[in-house]
Amino acid sequence: MQRLKTRPQFQAVLAGTIVAKTPHFVLHRNVLAAKAVPNRSGKQVNAPVLFREQDVWVGAMVPKRWAKRAVTRNAIKRQIYTVSAEFSHLYPQAAFVVRLRSSFSRTEFVSAVSDLLKQAVRAEVQALMHAGALAP
């Protein structure tokens, strides 16, 4: 399993399809296919290679808008990468992004990073990855 690192990699995956959703997360997928694209003159030119290896690529997007504190964002990202490593054998060679799309309730999870928050994130990401593995 490889991790997405550059902005163009994330943008390419986000331009792909949405495979699964949960109340707080969404899973985007883009297949790894080298293809020729037309340039301004109409000639076919090979697109720049964003993914050097044919493997499962995973990225995590946790915006400040939905997780204000850095410690919370980092804890959520750690859970995403840990769970995605557990599910990587079920996925085809493609690029995936797990994106946080709504915040966790601050009244329910008072601490910026707690065991209760980690368990809730882990359970929801496992459900997301399971649903993504079953998607066509």
The domain tally of the chain equals 1
Query: CATH no. for residue 109?
Result: 3.30.230.10
Q: Which residue has the tokens 């990587």?
A: 88
Q: What is the mean pLDDT of residues 4-16?
A: 89
Q: What is the pTM of this model?
A: 0.82
- Give 49-96 pLDDT, tens digit per residue: 777 778 899 999 999 999 888 999 999 999 999 999 999 899 888 899
Q: Give me 31's structure tokens.
A: 């297949």
Q: What is the mean pLDDT of residues 19-26?
A: 94
Question: Which stretches within 1-136 are classed as H helix?
Answer: 7-14, 70-87, 115-134
Domain membership of residue 79 as a residue range: 2-134
Query: Which among 14, 12, 18, 19 has a CA at the least distance from the CA of 33?
Result: 12
Residue 110 binned pLDDT confidence (cut-offs 50, 70, 90): confident
